[in-house]
Amino acid sequence: MLLLVVLMGTLLAGLGQRATLLAERERERELLFRGEQIRRAIVSYRAAAEPPTWPASLQDLLADRRSGVVRHHLRRAYADPFTRQTDWVVIPAPEPAQGWMGVHSRATARRLLQHEGPQPDNGPLLSDWHFVAADTVPEKPGLPK
C-alpha cells in the first residue's frame, strides 16, 4: 500500500511539472502574439500619416487623432503576459526622430521556446524578444502555431 502511495505521488508530481511547463510555453506564445500586435500597430500608425511619424505613447496606437478622424491601430492596450501589466519597455526611435519604434518585455526569465521569436537573432531571455517596426528589421512571416 505504501509503495502505491509513493508511486501515485511521484506520478502526480511529474504531471504537475508538465502542466507548469505547458503553461509557461503558452504564456510565451501569448507574449509573441501581443508583441507582434503592437509591432503591427506601429507599422499601421506610421503608414497612416505623411510624413510618417513614430507614436509617442501606447495611447497613440489606441486612438490616432492626427487626421481628424480617429483610427484604431491597436484594439486594446495589451498587457505583458509575464508581468500582467502594460509596462512594456519601449524602444526609442532612431535619432533625430521622436517617439518609439518597438517594445520588449520586462520579464528576465529564460525562455523555453527556442526557434521562435520576432527576430532570428533573439537571445535566451524573454526580454530579448524585441518587437520593432523599423525598416532595418525584416518582416516576420508569421506567428508560431
Whether this prediction's pTM lies above 0.85 is answered by: no
Give the span between the Cα atoms of 56 and 54, in whole angstroms.
6
Give residue-wise pLDDT tens across range 108-128: 988 887 666 666 556 789 999
Sheet strand arrangement including 130-132: 89-92, 100-104, 130-132
Could you tell me if 58 and 34 are in contact, meaning their C-beta atoms sit under 8 angstroms apart?
no
According to the model, what pLDDT value does residue 112 have?
A: 83
Please enumerate, as own/partner, the contacts of 90-93 that have beta carbons within 8 Å and a separation of 24 or more.
91/130, 91/132, 93/54
Q: Return the minimum-mean-pLDDT range out of 32-41, 42-51, 96-105, 119-128.
A: 119-128
Q: What is the DSSP letter of 74?
A: S
